[in-house]
Amino acid sequence: MTDNPSDNLLRKILTETKVIALVGVSMNSVRPSYFVARYLSLKNFRVIPVNPGQAGKTLFGEEIYASLADIPKDITVDMVDVFRRSEHVPPIVEMALAELPDLKTVWMQIGVRNAEAAAMAEAKGIQVIQNRCPKIEYQRLYGELRMGGFNTGIISSKL
């Protein structure tokens, strides 16, 4: 569990992750969860949207499920990205641990932190990232934020 994961760890997660269940996705195009879902889909992650209020609808070509438990078992979710308030995280992680056998990473968005949920996931050998955004980390690590004048921390003399 860390608020300060190394760049190597973030790169490893973002390279090895193929399917992300995005809990708390919004259909409102100015909401961060919509931004992130769209962005990660464009970067060839398979994003499975989860939101009980929107279940059955489709977002970026994927059906929206009411909960992690409703995601068909043939979809091998390896990361859960949580867009819910910190206090709502434990039951989500509990369900993820119970229902997603291929889960490798629990990721909590900017402003979301829950020590209890993190400890629960880590006890099962799951990598936990808190208070970060996978979209922003992807943009930072792979050169895109550089175009906006952000401090990427990337120094390299390679092409």
Residue 133 Cβ, how far from another protein at the closest point, in Å?
6
Q: Does 136 bind another protein (CB under 8 A)?
A: yes
154 Rama class: left (phi>0) / alpha (psi -120 to 50) / beta: beta
Please count the residues of this chain forming the interface with another protein, following the rule CB under 8 A.
Answer: 32
Stretch that binds another protein, among 5-13, 46-54, 58-66, 100-108 (CB under 8 A): 5-13
Q: Does 130 bind another protein (CB under 8 A)?
A: no
Residue 140 Cβ, how far from another protein at the closest point, in Å?
9
93 Rama class: left (phi>0) / alpha (psi -120 to 50) / beta: alpha
Nearer to another protein (CB atom), residue 8 or residue 44: 8
Strand partners, 107: 81, 129
Element (H, E) at 88: none
Longest dimension (CA), the chain: 49
Sign of CA dihedral 48, 4, 123, 84: negative
Q: Does 123 bind another protein (CB under 8 A)?
A: no
Stretch that binds another protein, among 57-65, 91-99, 120-128, 141-149 (CB under 8 A): 141-149
Strand partners, 59: 62
Query: Is 153 within 8 Å of 7 (Cβ atoms)?
Result: yes
Find the binding residues for another protein in span 74-113 (CB under 8 A): 110-111
Can you list the pairs that 40-43 forms with residues at least 24 positions away whose Cβ atoms lie under 8 Å?
A: 40/134, 40/135, 40/138, 43/138
Find the binding residues for another protein in span 11-50 (CB under 8 A): 29-30, 32, 35, 38-39, 42
Residue 118 Cβ, how far from another protein at the closest point, in Å?
19
Chain residues binding another protein by CB under 8 A are: 6-8, 29-30, 32, 35, 38-39, 42, 110-111, 133, 136, 139, 143-159
